[in-house]
Chains A and B, each alone.
Chain A
């Protein structure tokens, strides 16, 4: 069975600084996708960024970028120029067939 591990239950960062959230996963599949989702207190799960496992180039979306290390099965999220609105729970997820397997989440707090 696929597993996704987020080893940092909580993190904090000062506004405008950079923070990196860690994620490791375990899969025997060759073709899969990895995601970071953000869940603010309103509980709406919002897609942050997506990475196809067959692509070597790391995905980037504005202030959000990933460091995808396929051999190490590592998929970290870097948030640059952190903003107060980035405060949320962040979940790493991996496709397992059609379903998603999620990690336990990292609560990120951006301090003014």
Chain B
């Protein structure tokens, strides 16, 4: 079946603009994760959903970052008033179950803030 998809693949924003990044998880996957990957580094956890419930948002770097998954499938990561340090690749992953299951990743959205 189809894997995790993300859109857009690339996004250029001017500093101060708001952006919205979309993730379509694998159909039927309960858990959804967002990670931020800076250039040359490993991904870092941002937030976690179990169905529509956001169970962990401890990795969100500031209150400018907001994520939602209103119907328990598609998720959107929104960044308000973007800053240059927000430039990174944003990875979405999903897993079938709810605890320590294998996560399957999307291709990522590369965000460049000028």
- Asked if A99 and B41 make an inter-chain contact with CB atoms under 8 angstroms apart, the answer reads no
Question: Can you name 11 A-B residue pairings with CB atoms under 8 Å?
Answer: A31-B100, A45-B108, A91-B42, A91-B43, A98-B56, A98-B98, A99-B59, A100-B45, A102-B42, A102-B43, A104-B42
* Complex: chain B residue closest to A45, CB-CB: B105
For A, the interface residue count at a CB cutoff of 8 angstroms equals 25
CA distance A4 to B33 in the complex (A): 19
**Cβ of B98: which chain A residues have Cβ within 8 Å of it?**
98
- Asked if B99 and A98 make an inter-chain contact with CB atoms under 8 angstroms apart, the answer reads yes
A83 at the interface (CB under 8 A from B): no
A32 at the interface (CB under 8 A from B): yes
The residue from B33, B40, B102 contacting A99, defined by CB atoms under 8 A apart: B33
CA distance A100 to B56 in the complex (A): 13
| Interface residues of B, Cβ cutoff 8 Å to A | 31, 33, 35, 40-45, 48, 50, 55-56, 59, 89, 91, 93, 98-100, 102-108, 110
CA distance A46 to B40 in the complex (A): 17
* Complex: chain A residue closest to B45, CB-CB: A99
- A37 CB to closest chain B CB, in angstroms? 8
User: Given that A31-B100, A35-B102, A95-B100 are known contacts, is A42 also in contact with B107, CB under 8 Å in the complex?
Assistant: yes
- Asked if B42 and A47 make an inter-chain contact with CB atoms under 8 angstroms apart, the answer reads no
- Asked if A32 and B104 make an inter-chain contact with CB atoms under 8 angstroms apart, the answer reads no
- Asked if A104 and B107 make an inter-chain contact with CB atoms under 8 angstroms apart, the answer reads no
- Asked if B107 and A99 make an inter-chain contact with CB atoms under 8 angstroms apart, the answer reads no
* Complex: chain A residue closest to B44, CB-CB: A102
- A92 CB to closest chain B CB, in angstroms? 9
* Complex: chain B residue closest to A93, CB-CB: B42
- Asked if B48 and A45 make an inter-chain contact with CB atoms under 8 angstroms apart, the answer reads no
**Cβ of A44: which chain B residues have Cβ within 8 Å of it?**
105-108
